[in-house]
A = this chain, B = another copy of it.
C-alpha cells in the first residue's frame, strides 16, 4: 500500500520511503498495471477517438491536435476507424466503450441513432468534432459546412462570377462535403443561378480524380467561369489539369476549393479556398474533454470555429 502511494506521489508518504520505493521499482524494472489501476479506482485516462480515415490528410491533422491536447494533460488516446461507414462507426463506438474511456470524440454530427444513444447513456463527455448541430449528444466543436459552402458562393457571386461548375466525389459518404455543396447551391439559387455543370463520381476524392473531372468541365460546351471543388485535394488536381492545358488560373477559370491544405499554398497559382481550422479543432476538442474530465468543467454545448476565406490570386 505504501509503495502504491509512493509511486503515485501521493502525499502522506515520507520522502525517504518514496526514494526507497522508487529505487526498488527501478531495480526490478517495475511497470504498473493500468488495467488494475483503472479497475480499482474506477477511473481511466483513456480518451476514445474515432476518425473516418487516415489517408485523407485532414483527419490526421485533427487527430494531431487531439493527441497534443490530451497527451499534454496526461490522457491517453485510443482510436478506431469508421472508414466513412456508419455501421463500422457504431461497432467501433461499442468496442471502445468497453474500455470505459473518460471521454469520447467522434467525427461529425451524423451518427446512427443507436450510436448516439450508446454515447449519451455512457455518461461520459462526448464531443462531436468537425461539424456543428443545434442538438449535440453533449458538445460539438467545429464549423458549419453548409455555411462554409454558402459563404464561398456568396463571396464569389459578389465578385461578379455567375457561371459555376462543381466537381466532387464520394458525396454519399463524405457528408460534410455534401453539406458544403448544398450550401453553395442554395446561395446560387437565392441569387437566381445554378451550377452550369456538375461532375461527381462515387469513388474517393483524390488529386488525380480532380484533374480528370476538371478535364470534363473544360471539355463540355457550356462556358464556366469558376469551378467549386469538394476539397483542396481535388482542386489541386484541377489546377494541374489547367497547367497541362495552359488554361490560365484564375484568368480563364477560377478554381475554388476547401480546407487550405499545404499543397494549396505551394501551388504555382493560389486558388480560392476556405481554410478550415483542423489542428485547432482537434486541440479545442481535446482541451475541452481534458478540462471536463480533469477539472470537472461544465460541458460546453457548442464551440463554433470559423474557416477563413482566402481569395489567393483572384482579385
Contact = CB atoms under 8 A, between A and B. Distances in A.
A64 B207 CA distance: 19
Residues of A contacting B: mostly: helix
Contact of A63 (B32, B44, B54): B54
Contacts of A95: 76
A158 interface: no
A230 B242 CA distance: 28
- Number of copies of this protein chain within its complex: 2
A253 interface: no
B76 A71 contact: no
Interface string A177-203: 000000000000000000000000000
Interface string A10-37: 0000000000000000000101111111
Contacts of A36: 39
B33 A35 contact: no
- Size band of the interface chain A makes with B: 35 or more
Interface string A92-117: 00111111100000000000000000
A60 B95 CA distance: 22
A29 B71 contact: no
Contact of A33 (B55, B100, B207): B100
A63 B63 CA distance: 12
B77 A79 contact: yes
Given A76-B78, A263-B263, 11 more contacts: A29-B121, A31-B97, A31-B98, A33-B100, A59-B60, A60-B63, A67-B80, A208-B266, A240-B268, A243-B268, A244-B268
Sorted from nearest, which 9 A-B pairs have the closest CB atoms?
Answer: A207-B266, A60-B60, A34-B98, A54-B64, A54-B60, A243-B268, A35-B39, A34-B99, A78-B78
